[in-house]
């Protein structure tokens, strides 16, 4: 027999009913292929021993004159409870298990007080504990210390450590990341502060890293300048003064006489003193060369002629004196700044 042909109209009417029946059957089979639900987590039981094993300490409350002990205990307790992932509603109850003697008496009194807000949260526990064991005067003193904090001789890590500790007493000044960074910049040393003020990021750690790099660059620059000054202005080796003017009491008297002459020169007085010994004549000659070169227009022929002609000193002696690092360097006597500059600038001209 030929196969039975289904009329197109009948097929179109049967197909939706077949699909609906198929989808219903698959929906009934789906629960058979779903994985079982995960087991419910067992409640984490934290005991007194668990707290002790994780670093919690007992608190007796018998050192009312040392508020920092109470603050350290509270900070350590908060850290332990966070590490154990204790719910906020249970934290106060567990923390109270560490109270002993006077501290436990205080806890019973405040817990039974009908005016105490309930239920206990960690924030309420923190405020009640701080109010009892950290006097207002102590907090105000720490806040004033934070306001007056300056870097001065501290390194940046030392400043940051002190800043972080004291900032907990001045929360109104560091309430936002931007305020916290601005307060830190105010406490930097003066030469570093303008550069740190240009930092645009509000990420404190990123800004701190930039400040550390800037401080190192400034320190390196200052060290380079110091080395350059030492190279341009070398000091004579120890013992040079003794070879120039002698040693002992006699040499000391000669040095003092020359210093008196230098003081007179720095005040604008230049007069030739009586010459006694050969050493004094040489020292005074050197003094006149130094002062003469810087007396008039520094570096001009007029100044040089004034030295050589009016004082009767030859050009060869003048060149030798300047080439020997000059008299004021040998004696380690600080001349006025304009004289030092004049001598330094004239040295290559005279020697050549």
pLDDT digits (tens, 9 = 90+) for 38-78: 776 665 688 889 999 999 999 998 887 789 999 999 999 99
The answer to whether the beta carbons of residues 70 and 91 sit under 8 Å apart is no
Residue 296, pLDDT score: 39
Share of the chain above pLDDT 70, in %: 57
Residue among 274, 284, 280 at smallest CA distance from 254: 280
How crowded is residue 326: how many other Cβ atoms within 10 Å of its Cβ? 20
What gap in Å lies between CA 46 and CA 90, rounded to an integer?
Answer: 10
Element (H, E) at 125: helix 122-133
Render pLDDT for 319-339 as a digit per residue (tens, 0 to 9): 444 444 333 333 333 444 444
Name 210's Cβ contacts closer than 8 Å, sequence gap at least 6.
Answer: 196, 199, 201
Beta strands in 31-174 (DSSP E): none
Of 257 and 264, the structure prediction assigns the larger pLDDT to 257
What gap in Å lies between CA 158 and CA 332, rounded to an integer?
Answer: 39
| Least confident interval from 7-21, 154-168, 206-220 | 7-21
Q: What is the pTM of this model?
A: 0.49
Render pLDDT for 171-184 as a digit per residue (tens, 0 to 9): 999 999 999 999 99
| Least confident interval from 27-41, 129-143, 250-264, 310-324 | 310-324
Q: For helices 67-83 and 88-96, give the axis angle rounded to 10 degrees.
A: 130
Inform me whether the pLDDT recorded for 6 exceeds 60. no
Angle, alpha carbons 28-34-37 (nearest 5°): 125
Q: Is 331 exposed, middle or buried (0-12, 13-18, 19+ CB in 10 A)?
A: buried
What gap in Å lies between CA 301 and CA 259, rounded to an integer?
Answer: 28
Inform me whether the pLDDT recorded for 155 exceeds 90. yes
What gap in Å lies between CA 119 and CA 123, rounded to an integer?
Answer: 11
DSSP state of 247: S
Residue 81, pLDDT score: 95
The answer to whether the beta carbons of residues 234 and 325 sit under 8 Å apart is yes
Around 3, how many Cα atoms within 13 Å sit in the side-chain half-sphere?
Answer: 3
């Amino acid at each position: 027999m030929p196969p039975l042909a289904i009329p197109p109209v009948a097929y179109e009417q049967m197909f939706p009913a077949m699909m609906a029946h198929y989808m219903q059957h698959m929906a009934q089979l789906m629960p058979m292929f779903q994985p079982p639900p995960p087991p419910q987590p067992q409640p984490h039981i934290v005991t007194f021993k668990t707290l002790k094993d994780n670093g919690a300490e007992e608190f007796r409350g018998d050192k009312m004159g040392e508020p920092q002990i109470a603050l350290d205990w509270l900070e350590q307790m908060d850290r332990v409870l966070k590490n154990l992932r204790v719910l906020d509603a249970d934290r106060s109850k567990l923390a109270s298990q560490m109270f002993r003697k006077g501290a436990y008496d205080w806890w019973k009194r405040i817990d039974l007080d009908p005016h105490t807000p309930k239920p206990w949260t960690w924030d309420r526990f923190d405020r009640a504990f701080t109010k009892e064991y950290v006097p207002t005067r102590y907090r105000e003193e720490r806040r004033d210390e934070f306001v007056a904090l300056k870097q001065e001789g501290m390194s940046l890590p030392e400043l940051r450590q002190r800043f972080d500790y004291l900032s907990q007493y001045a929360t109104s000044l560091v309430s936002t990341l931007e305020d916290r960074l601005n307060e830190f910049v105010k406490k930097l040393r003066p030469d570093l502060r303008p550069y740190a003020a240009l930092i645009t990021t509000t990420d404190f750690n990123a800004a701190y890293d930039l400040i550390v790099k800037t401080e190192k660059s400034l320190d390196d620059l200052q060290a380079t300048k110091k080395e350059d000054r030492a190279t341009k202005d070398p000091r004579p080796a120890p013992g040079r003064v003794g070879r120039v003017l002698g040693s002992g009491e006699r040499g000391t008297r000669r040095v003092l006489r020359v210093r008196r002459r230098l003081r007179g020169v720095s005040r604008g007085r230049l007069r030739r003193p009586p010459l006694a010994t050969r050493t004094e004549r040489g020292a005074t000659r050197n003094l006149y060369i130094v002062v003469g070169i810087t007396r008039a227009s520094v570096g001009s022929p007029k100044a040089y002629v004034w030295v050589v002609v009016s004082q009767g000193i030859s050009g060869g002696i003048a060149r030798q004196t300047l080439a020997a690092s000059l008299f004021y360097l040998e004696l380690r006597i600080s001349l006025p700044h304009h004289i030092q500059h004049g001598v330094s600038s004239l040295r290559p001209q005279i020697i050549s």
